[in-house]
Amino acid sequence: MGFKVYKFGGASVKDAEGVRNVAHVIRETGATDAVVVVSAMGKMTNAFEELVDAYFSREDRITDALEPLISFHLNIAKDLFENTSHSVFKELNLLFNELTDFLKRNKSPDYDFVYDQVVVYGELLSTTIVSAYFNVISLVNTWHDVRRYIKTNTRYREGKVDWEITMRNLSRNIPKQGLQVTQGFIASDPNGFSTTLGREGSDYTAAIIAYCLNAESVTIWKDVPGVLSGDPRYFKNTVLLNTISYTEAVELAFYGASVIHPKTLQPLQRKEIPLLVKSFANPTASGTQVCLGEPINPLVPCYILKRQQILLSLSSLDFSFMDEENIGEIFKLLGYYKLKVDLIQNSAISFSVCVEDKYRNLEKLVARLKADYKVTVYEQVSLYTLRHPNQAAVSQLEENKEILLKQVTQNTVQLVSL
């Protein structure tokens, strides 16, 4: 069997039973030469984000905020390791101390910088536990700190990969024989400070490693049977997509099908490395294969929902046209305030844009826009995207919704609704 990359997300390692199951998946699928990329456990990245917020809002009580994070990991470790003098406990304590030290000593007021120095501990703790547990059950492996290999610029929370150095580091340091355990999502800047690749970025890490090491395939192990025709949390009667092309997968991920991180596809497509999306609960089932070939099989309408979007409707104050110059200005501001644009629509005198405000800059943006435009803001709207629509699917989607905007293109229907 060739050299593979496996990625296990937070849901697969949310508790001790999950970690045992990850070992089972590796054994069951006979992956002997593989890099196993593991995310933070369960919802730990959110918990570390809250720790960062606590740090910035009320620094004095930081130990209170840290305590539940420490006990969460220790409890999982206690469940997995009968021997409480196992060296894993020392390693975990080292990580906790390192983090506490950073929070005590840090002088930087830069939120994004501090965020990255803190949230990386989610993956460091998780992989430390997983790697040690594998070794205990004779799944012999080597733990790697991926920050030493994957290098980015200093754009904290959204590091841009330096491919040349990363390729060199990975190929020199990660053997293609045997099992290697490492983190997703995290990297480091040229000065050695931690960076992250954007939320949910572990799928992307798996793709970076596969690209640099010419892996045979990447498998991302999920709590769903594969890529479905809709997120089962929001849509009923979804079906499994057996195969989809890289292009279709990019489209689905771009519109918000959160089962695959959008950046994952590009490196894989460039080297035609297949991406498999499979269920960690049922590792021998076929799942979804993303590869070159026909766009989508079976050809069914696919539903995507993005919640908590914002719809901005702008029109000129003096009834003049929305021209290239106006629209150019608006886009410059959207870029400056890091609002992600999902959908645009314009007419002679108005311009609507559906955006996501990850960095909480909406108020500042609207204040700037109001100097030049009449601005209407709809917050908490939902953006529905229907790929490969048919009439029945469109009617069903439109049912019982107050629709603010609808856009129809050849293969896609999008609705913004309250």
Total residues contacting ligand ASP (rule CB under 6 A)?
A: 12
The one-letter amino acid code at 395 reads S
Token code pair at residue 105: 């000593």
For residues 177-216, which are near ligand ADP according to CB under 6 A? 200
Interface residue with ligand ADP, options 35, 69, 146, 259 (CB under 6 A): 259
Interface residue with ligand ASP, options 18, 42, 201, 283 (CB under 6 A): 201
Distance of CA 394 to the CA centre of its chain: 29
Interface residue with ligand ADP, options 228, 312, 365, 383 (CB under 6 A): 228
Closer by beta carbon to ligand ADP, 14 or else 176: 14
Asked if 346 touches ligand ADP (CB under 6 A), the answer is no
Closer by beta carbon to ligand ADP, 58 or else 307: 307
Pairing relationship of beta strands 340-346 and 186-188 according to DSSP bridges: unpaired
Q: Rounded to whole angstroms, what are the CA distances from 170 to 126, 148, 173, 182?
A: 21, 9, 5, 12
Asked if 267 touches ligand ASP (CB under 6 A), the answer is no
Interface residue with ligand ADP, options 23, 161, 227, 311 (CB under 6 A): 227
Tell me the angle at which helices 163-173 and 202-213 cross, rounded to the nearest 10 degrees.
Answer: 70
Q: Segment near ligand ASP (CB under 6 A), from 197-205, 212-220, 324-332, 361-369?
A: 197-205
**Residue matched to tokens 């030493």:** 148
Interface residue with ligand ASP, options 122, 230, 267, 389 (CB under 6 A): 122
Asked if 223 touches ligand ADP (CB under 6 A), the answer is yes
Residue 373 belongs to what H/E stretch?
A: strand 373-387
Closer by beta carbon to ligand ASP, 124 or else 413: 124
Helix/strand/coil for 286: coil
Interface residue with ligand ASP, options 18, 42, 159, 184 (CB under 6 A): 184
Asked if 200 touches Mg ion (CB under 5 A), the answer is yes
Rg (CA), the chain: 23
Binding mask 31-70 for ligand ASP (x = CB under 6 A): --------xx----x-------------------------
Interface residue with Mg ion, options 5, 9, 76, 365 (CB under 5 A): 9
Burial 66-82 (b: 16+ CB within 10 A, else e): beebbebbbebbeebbe
Task: Report d(CA 202, CA 182) in Å as an integer.
Answer: 10
Task: Report d(CA 146, CA 62) in Å as an integer.
Answer: 27
Residue 219 belongs to what H/E stretch?
A: strand 217-222
Task: Report d(CA 285, CA 145) in Å as an integer.
Answer: 31
Closer by beta carbon to Mg ion, 221 or else 373: 221
Q: How far is the CB of 151 from ligand ASP (least distance, A)?
A: 18
Distance of CA 119 to the CA centre of its chain: 14
Closer by beta carbon to ligand ASP, 202 or else 414: 202
Residue 322's closest CA among 343, 353, 355? 353
Interface residue with ligand ASP, options 4, 5, 6, 10 (CB under 6 A): 10
Token code pair at residue 318: 């003096």
Provide the binding-site residues for ligand ADP, judged by CB under 6 A: 9-12, 39, 200, 222-224, 227-228, 230-231, 233, 257-259
Task: Give the residues lining the site for Mg ion (CB under 5 A).
Answer: 9, 200
